[in-house]
Amino acid sequence: CAYYKSDDDSLKEAQLNKDRYILQKLVTNPGKELLDIGSGWGTLLFMAAEEFDLHATGITLSQEQYDYTKQQIESRHLQNKVTVLLEDYRELKGNFDYITSVGMFEHVGKENLGLYFKKVQELLAPEGRALIHGITGQHMGAGVDQFIRKKIKKNSYIPNIAENLKHIMDANLQFTDIEPLRFHYQRTLETWYQNYLRVEQQVIEKYGERFDRMWSLYLQACAASFEVGNID
């Protein structure tokens, strides 16, 4: 999910806006420790170190993401400011002043949501702050779609906002801010789909027409779901 500050923002600009917005909302202080749970390709880690002067640790289960992040740490000369770990977040120990987690909780499964937020609380230093971003919904059964669960994201589960709030309270965390960004995600998906159309024929040649129909439906249906508020 990118964050569009202007109608003229490119997808890349909007994606960088998103990472910067996250760090700004945390009101970070230089020299403090940040943890990114599910750190992806490391963009937020690099921005935290280079623009906000934080010591940033990322954790991922993807060997490819781990290898890429390690390479970027070296090429950017961030060895003293950025660390990436290849392990399960549930095994992590320590205390961090700030915790971010972007697009993660919808992948842990319904049965693990409570544990996820309790782990965030456990890893936060006293007076620490976390910003958790993910897909949710504002009604019962939000985002539980058999097509997506079977064909796109196996075993994914999108909790409604009431579930998330209960787990957050049960973990003895305090709310300071809740912000829906669904129209930003709608536009992100619409841009992804336009980008996909540019290479659609190559995809068909590589994966076949069945995959093409599935992927086109996935991108367009998710954009529509964000637009109408089925997911948030």
- Rounded CA separation 225/196 (Å): 19
Give the CA-trace dihedral at 141, 226, 45, 111, to 10 degrees. 10
- Rounded CA separation 56/33 (Å): 6
Q: Which of the following is catalytic: 222, 225, 226, 232?
A: 222
Structure tokens at 84: 């990436």
1 given a catalytic annotation? no
Alpha-helical segments (H) within the chain: 11-25, 43-50, 63-75, 113-123, 146-151, 161-170, 182-198, 200-207, 209-228
Q: Which residues, other chains included, contact 217 with Cβ-Cβ below 8 Å and sequence gap of 6+?
A: 147
Which DSSP state fits 51? T
Evaluate whether 159 touches 113 at the Cβ level (below 8 Å). yes
Structure tokens at 109: 């499964």
Indicate the residue type of 205.
E
- Rounded CA separation 148/146 (Å): 5
Tell me if residue 31 falls in helix, strand or coil.
coil
Cite the active site residues.
222
